[in-house]
Copies of this chain bind each other. A is one copy, B any other.
Amino acid sequence: METVAENKCFGGVQGVYSHASKATGCDMTFGLFLPEEARDGPVPVLWYLSGLTCTHENAMVKAGAQGWAAEQGIALVFPDTSPRGEGVADDDGYDLGQGAGFYVNATQDPWKPHFQMWDYVAEELPALVTSEFAIDAERQAITGHSMGGHGALTLAMGRKGQYRSVSAFSPICHPTASDWGRKQLKAYLGTDEAAWARHDAALMMRDVGFDGPMLVDTGTSDQFIDLLKPEALAEAANARRQEATLRLQKGYDHSYFFVSSFMEDHIAFHAEALYA
């Protein structure tokens, strides 16, 4: 593992690190905020998964999360959104290939050799950060924005017991029925739609749900709301009697101005679960 940068931030350290990933078969870069408390022993961790076109950096500089994480003594990890590099398959579209991993393990060529983001985010990177840093593997929570909100919700429901709480900002809630989803799930997972279901938060909610609290915020003026389909998740969560707070925030859009506006709420929500 290589240190790309470390900057003191809210009493802790905002680092950027790169490492050779076994899951994705390429070098991966991630951001990690460690609060001051990590000097004295392992702290809980909140995973933040980013959206289409993002790298590890977007949320790290724009979401305003570090101040609240510092206040709660929680680490933040900002993984990249896909494998990257010259030898890694890509597509001309912004919504497929590099920058658009969709948090799945691809089974189809040309994506299969590197696009293993589910395993990378759920297994390899947690193993790395909990061994290299003062992070408590037993206290993990997960959040994300847009495609990253989809990743957070599906990982939380698909990896039983790994995360104590899950939240999302403007998540893609029903990708098997959306142009933000069908194209990518077909490319990465093939034409058999049965394989897509465990990467659809609304379907996973129907199927297995989440054993813990859930918080989802979506802006009523989100320019992509027809692609996100929050109503599908809301319907499924209500039908299941899932413990959840699903909010529509008046006038907010899909931007980081929206994410940062509600970051304090989300981190306080996760802190309650992580320190329970």
Contact = CB atoms under 8 A, between A and B. Distances in A.
Contacts of A219: 8
Interface string A11-36: 10010000000000000000000000
Contacts of A261: 8-11, 66-67
Nearest to A249: B8
A158 interface: no
Interface stretch (A97-105, A176-184, A190-198, A251-259): A251-259
A257 B253 CA distance: 25
Nearest to A264: B67
Contact of A61 (B9, B14, B256): B256
A221 B260 contact: no
Contacts of A61: 61-62, 256
B7 A260 contact: no
A213 interface: no
Contacts of A255: 7
A64 interface: yes
Interface of A: 7-11, 14, 61-62, 64, 66-67, 219, 221, 251-253, 255-258, 260-261, 264
